Amino acid sequence: MDNKYNGWTNRETWLVNLWFGDSWECASDVVSTREFMQEQIDQLTSWIRDFIDIDCINWTELEEHANELEVM
């Protein structure tokens, strides 16, 4: 069974690319996005943070995608 979502590992990974991918020029931009997202999550009320799992995002896949964009 293929668990991919629109060609990405999962819906969460796809969403990060959807929202931020147009601004990436290289893999370090993905790292900056992750740091930004973590900062935003850290500012949420603790019970809301319990609903968010940033670790399920495939950051390696996103970095590889950004590296491909850099080559183009």
pLDDT tens track for 9-43: 999 999 999 999 999 999 999 999 999 999 999 99
Q: What pLDDT, on a 0 to 100 scale, did the predictor assign at position 2?
A: 63
Residue type, 20: F
pTM of the entire predicted model: 0.88
Task: Show the CA angle centred on residue 41, arms to residues 48 and 3, nearest 5°.
Answer: 80
Furthest-apart CA atoms within the chain: distance in Å: 42
Q: How far apart are the C-alpha atoms of 47 and 35, rounded to whole Å? A: 21
Chain mean pLDDT for the chain: 93
Is pLDDT above 90 for 64?
Answer: yes
Is pLDDT above 90 for 65?
Answer: yes
